[in-house]
Structure 1
Amino acid sequence: MPGADGTAMDRAINEIEGFLLWEAEKDRARIRAEAFCAGLPWLTDSQRREVELHYCRDQRDATWAYLERIAVRSATLRTEYEGVYRALRRRLITVFLSGTVAVAALVTVAVAGMAVR
């Protein structure tokens, strides 16, 4: 089954991408924490490390909450768009079938008109 392999591969790629993005976010949080602490020169080394750890933890928690909100919103939008797509598809099929019936009726009338002559 080629589709099943593709789906598994897609999931694996998504997981790897998610892992790499999360690691990059942790690095950004660490860099921001170091920059924040650089503006507090009176901190001792142990205080600086504690502030950096707290800052990173807080930043990761905020990022995680943000990502969860985005995931929920994405799922909501997907459901909404799939509903709109199904409705549009039904309309298009209805218009196509109506047009086909109309053309068939016109052809039938034209053929019948020619047969009468």
Structure 2
Amino acid sequence: MTDAGRRAGGGHAPGAGEDLGNEVEGYLLWRARIAEAEQRAREFTGRMDWLTTGQRDEVERHYVDDSLRRARQDLERIAARCVSLRDEYERRYRGLRARCVGWAVAVCGGAAFVATAVTAVSLSR
């Protein structure tokens, strides 16, 4: 279950299907990354015809482990950046919304003042 599902109080919260879709997509992308790392490891060791089968397997395993470790670090760095950008954009949105509401209140207040003044002037004649 994703963090969003846990925050909502269970796996059947609104948007749970979307969360499941995201999890499946993430799983499939990670499996593709594993397959790519394994293919690259085979290509890497394929040029080393002096390796024994055991040595080849060990080099491939280390190559795959290193590739996946680096891929995970990259994904974690990207995820952290996404979170920081989201926080920054939400903060800016709140500030923009507060300014817009402030201007709307000021304009409405000014319009009400002008309308009251015009009414008062026209009644005093």
TM-score surpassing 0.5? yes
Q: CA RMSD in A?
A: 1.5
Match for residue 78 of structure 2?
A: 70
Higher relative contact order (CA 8 A, sep 6+): 1
After superposition, the C-alpha distances for 1:62-111 in whole angstroms (9 at most, x for unaligned) are: 11111112222222221121111111110110011111111111111122
Question: Counterparts of 1:25 and 1:106 in 2: how far apart (Å)?
Answer: 66
Aligned to 1:6, the other structure's residue is in SS state: coil
Identity in percent = 39
Give the TM-score, by structure 1 length: 0.87
Alpha-carbon separation, structure 1, partners of 2:111 and 2:46: 77
Aligned to 2:120: 112
Residue 82 of structure 1: aligned partner: 90
* Alpha-carbon distance, 1:29 to partner: 0.7
**How far does residue 6 in structure 1 lie from its aligned partner after superposition?**
3.0
- Paired position in structure 2 for 1:23: 31
Alignment match, 1:59 = 67
TM-score (ref. length: structure 2): 0.82
Decide which structure has greater helix share. Answer: 1
1:9 lines up with 2:17 in the alignment: yes
Matched residue pairs, number?
114
Structure 1: unaligned runs, 5 residues or longer: none
